[in-house]
C-alpha cells in the first residue's frame, strides 16, 4: 500500500526562472496564458510532463511556472504594466544576460530570492534538496497536497486492515454502503445486503430505478492479503448472474485478483467490474465511507483570469 510516489517528469519551479526571463527578454510584453505556453515550450517539456497535474487537477508545469513568475515579480525582475500582461525589467534583463545558462537548484533559488521574500507573509520555505527521493522540490501548494496524500495513504492502509479483520457480513454491508454513497441506487438509496446462507453467490443488490427493473448485483469477498481471487470465483459469480437473468455485476474483494481472473472478466460478454482492496479503500476515502473529516484546509491563489 505505502508505495513511494512516482517521480515527476516536471522540473522543480526554480528550473523555470531562466526560461521565463528568456521568453520575456525576446518580447516587449506577453499575456499570462501565452507566457505559460511559451515557457513550457522553451523548457522542452516531454508529453508526459505536460500531462501531469497536481491533485487539484491543474497543470503541474503551469503551477510551477507560476511560482517562478511570482518570485521574479517579487524580486522586481518582471512586472505587470497592465492586467494579465508581463514584461521583463532592466534588473531582470541584467541578471538574465549574466546567467543565461544557469540551471537553478531549489537551494540556489532560495538564496537568490530570499532577500525579496524576507518580509513577506508568503516567504519561501526553507531549502531542502532532500525533500523528495528524486530531488524534485514541490511548491508550497504541492507540499500541502503531498502531505494530505500521505495522510490518506496511511488511512487507506488502516482501512484495509480493519476491513480484513471484520466479519464477512460487515464487509458485505460496507461495500453496499459504498456503492450507495457513489450514487448507485438513486436518492432513495435503493440497495441492500442479501448475503448469507443460501444467497446463491450474490451478496448485495442495488436497484437503479424505483421499480427494481434495472439492478446491479454485488459479490463481496473479505479475504486476507495474498489470498487473491481467482478465475473460478469470477466464473461462479457470472453463473449466479445468469441464473438471475442479469448481465452485469460488481465483484469486490479486500485482497486482489489474479491476472487470470482479470483476463477472464475482460473477455466474457457480461459486464463485470472488479474492485480490489487498494481501489476499494481509495473509493471509501473519496466518498467518505468508513472515514470522517477531522480538519479542512483551504489554500488560495490569485485568480489571474479576473485581472485579464
Tens digits of pLDDT across the chain (308 residues):
444 445 788 988 899 999 999 999 999 999 999 999 999 999 999 999 999 988 778 899 998 998 898 889 889 999 988 878 999 999 999 999 999 988 888 888 888 888 887 655 444 544 333 333 333 456 677 777 777 877 888 788 889 888 998 888 899 999 999 999 998 887 677 888 886 655 567 988 988 777 666 788 999 999 988 899 999 999 999 999 988 888 889 999 999 999 999 999 999 988 899 999 999 999 999 999 999 887 777 777 767 677 66
The model's pTM is: 0.59
- Using DSSP, state whether 235 is helix, strand or coil: helix
For 23-89, strand residue ranges (E) read 30-31, 78-79, 85-88
What count of residues does the chain have?
Answer: 308
Q: CA-based angle 26:31:36, to the nearest 5?
A: 80
For residue 122, the SS3 value is coil
Sheet with 85-88: strands ordered across = 30-31, 85-88, 78-79
For 264-299, the DSSP string reads HHHHSSSEEEEE-HHHHHHHHHHTTSS---------
Q: For residue 17, give the nearest of 87, 64, 63, 86 by alpha carbon.
A: 64
In whole angstroms, what is the distance from residue 205 CA to residue 193 CA? 7
Amino acid at each position: 500500500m505505502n508505495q513511494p510516489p512516482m517521480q515527476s517528469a516536471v522540473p522543480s519551479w526554480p528550473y523555470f526562472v531562466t526560461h521565463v526571463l528568456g521568453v520575456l527578454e525576446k518580447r516587449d510584453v506577453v499575456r499570462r496564458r501565452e507566457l505559460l505556453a511559451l515557457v513550457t515550450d522553451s523548457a522542452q517539456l516531454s508529453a508526459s510532463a505536460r500531462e501531469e497535474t497536481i491533485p487539484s487537477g491543474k497543470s503541474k508545469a503551469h503551477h510551477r511556472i507560476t511560482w517562478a513568475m511570482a518570485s521574479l515579480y517579487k524580486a522586481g525582475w518582471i512586472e505587470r504594466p497592465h492586467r494579465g500582461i508581463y514584461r521583463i525589467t532592466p534588473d531582470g534583463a541584467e541578471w538574465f544576460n549574466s546567467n543565461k545558462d544557469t540551471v537553478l537548484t531549489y537551494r540556489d533559488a532560495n538564496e537568490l530570492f530570499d532577500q525579496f521574500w524576507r518580509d513577506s507573509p508568503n516567504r519561501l520555505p526553507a531549502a531542502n534538496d532532500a525533500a523528495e527521493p528524486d530531488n524534485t522540490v514541490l511548491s508550497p501548494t504541492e507540499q500541502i497536497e503531498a502531505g494530505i496524500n500521505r495522510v490518506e495513504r496511511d488511512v487507506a492502509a488502516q482501512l484495509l486492515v480493519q476491513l480484513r479483520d471484520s466479519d464477512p457480513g460487515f464487509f458485505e454491508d460496507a461495500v453496499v454502503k459504498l456503492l450507495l454513497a457513489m450514487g448507485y441506487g438513486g436518492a432513495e438509496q435503493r440497495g441492500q445486503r442479501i448475503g448469507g446462507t443460501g444467497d446463491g453467490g450474490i451478496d448485495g443488490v442495488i436497484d437503479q430505478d424505483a421499480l427494481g427493473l434495472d439492478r446491479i448485483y454485488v459479490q463481496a469477498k473479505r479475504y486476507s492479503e495474498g489470498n487473491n481471487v481467482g478465475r473460478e470465483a469470477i466464473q461462479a459469480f457470472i453463473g449466479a448472474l445468469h441464473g438471475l437473468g442479469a448481465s452485469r455485476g460488481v465483484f469486490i474483494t479486500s485482497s486482489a485478483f489474479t491476472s487470470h481472473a482479470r483476463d477472464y472478466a475482460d473477455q466474457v460478454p457480461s459486464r463485470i467490474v472488479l474492485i480490489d482492496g487498494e481501489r476499494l479503500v481509495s473509493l471509501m476515502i473519496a466518498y467518505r465511507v468508513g472515514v470522517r473529516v477531522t480538519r479542512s484546509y483551504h489554500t488560495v491563489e490569485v485568480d489571474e483570469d479576473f485581472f485579464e
